[in-house]
Amino acid sequence: MATIGYRTRYQREKKSDFDQKLVDLRRVARVMAGGRRFSFRAAVVLGDRKGQVGFGLGKGADTALSIEKAARAAKKNLIRVPLTPQGAIPHEITAKFGSARVLLRPSAGGLRAGGAVRVVLDLAGVKNASAKILSRTKNKITNARAALAALQGLKSNQHAVS
């Protein structure tokens, strides 16, 4: 066994059953005495494509650190999404978060959604749905959180009215 360093033998392979997608990455600044201090803010959606999805924000000195922090925050905020056997949501729902309003409705024929809402639905495992951003905001973070609020408000298949 070839060893490159001390840690190679003892490092565990971190294999997660969650997929993650970066929704937003920004350089942010705070003004201090003597100038600006820059850091990075990352927004990550984490999901297993089987009904679990979460969203997290993280700030760090470099991009890799902020993405890692955001993924940890998303893992803490996982929600379970009720899905039909066809991979659709059980009923239509509208949700609001901040200035963002999102409409989700079940449909046959694939996933029709845009922006951050599409990422949230895809990582949640929704295969047949249509989504519409009803508000005028283009803010990816609030749109993603509105989509999560809508998915959290879904009732399970037994309670859905056809």
How is 66-128 classified by DSSP, letter by letter? HHHHHHHHHHHT-EE----TTSB-SS-EEEEETTEEEEEEE-SSSEE--HHHHHHHHHHT--B
Third-level CATH fold of 81-152? Ribosomal Protein S5; domain 2 (3.30.230)
Q: Would you write out the chain's pLDDT as a tens digit for each of its 162 residues?
A: 555 555 555 555 556 789 999 999 999 999 999 999 999 999 999 999 999 999 999 999 999 999 999 999 999 999 999 999 998 999 999 999 999 999 999 998 899 999 999 999 999 999 999 999 999 999 999 999 999 999 999 987 654 454
Third-level CATH fold of 19-79? Double Stranded RNA Binding Domain (3.30.160)
Q: Do domains 19-79 and 81-152 have the same CATH topology?
A: no
Question: So where are the chain's domains?
Answer: 19-79, 81-152
pTM of the model: 0.84
